[in-house]
Amino acid sequence: MILASKSPRRREILSQFGFDIEIDSVDVEEVSDEKEVVDQLMDISRKKSQEVAKRNPDKYVVSADTAVIIDGRVLGKPGDEEEAKRTLRELSGRAHEVITAYTLFNLSKEVMHSHYDTTMVYFKELSDEEIEWYVATGEPMDKAGSYGIQGKGTILVDKIEGDFYNVMGFPLSKFYDDLKSLGMDISNIRMM
């Protein structure tokens, strides 16, 4: 299977489950004319898969796009440490959504399947000292929402409702369910 993403977290998740992953990403402008966030994410995910599938028509290509949302606003990656601190203060003591849309594409088999998953994340009340410490680790700087749940950022989280892997960047459980619904057998995962 080809992962149309440079995300080391997505590669880790899929490899850990048993997929034999190749990386082939493209620079697709991550914008969409869709109105709703979920539709935007699915549109961007489809564009990524389609571009890579054109070069690899006989292989399965998977792509994904993740957003962290609070108060209806999408929180991107922080531009600098001050923005990361502001974002973490905003998330402190509150709940937010993490939505990941993904697409599975195979041109020769005429497979084009997109779906998404949503996970609610509840942050602990954070002190300025905790925020300063976390930002100083450098971990939040390349992550939407300014935190990584799989790393040091796990101490910021009180609880989640939904798929942990979705918060990391790929909703593995939902993806597996979709593979089954498409008639794919778990014993053939390595051959995808």
Residues carrying an active site annotation: 65
Asked if the structure places residue 159 within a domain, the reply is yes
Position 7 confidence tier, pLDDT thresholds 50, 70, 90:
confident
Give the model's confidence band at 192: pLDDT under 50 very low, under 70 low, under 90 confident, else very high.
Answer: low
Q: Which of 3-7, 28-32, 59-63 has the lowest mean pLDDT?
A: 28-32
- pLDDT higher than threshold 80 for residue 168: yes
Domain-embedded: residue 10: yes
13 assigned to some structural domain = yes
Q: What are phi and psi of 113, to 5 degrees?
A: -130, 125
Among residues 68, 86, 91, which one has the least CA distance to residue 158?
A: 91
Does residue 115 belong to any structural domain of this protein?
yes
Task: Indicate the pTM of the whole model.
Answer: 0.91
Q: What is the mean pLDDT of residues 127-142?
A: 96
Structural domain tally of the chain?
1
Domain membership flag for residue 192: no
Please name the residues in contact with 174: beta carbons below 8 A apart, sequence gap of 6 or more: 115, 116, 117, 163, 166
Residue 191 counted as domain residue? no
Residue 100's domain is classified under what CATH number? 3.90.950.10
CA atoms within 13 A on the CB side of 52: 29
What is the distance between the alpha carbons of residues 38 and 137, in angstroms, rounded to a whole number? 31
Cα angle 19-188-15, degrees, rounded to a multiple of 5:
10
Domain span at 10: 2-186
Whether 179 maps to a domain, the answer reads yes
User: Does residue 122 form part of some domain?
Assistant: yes
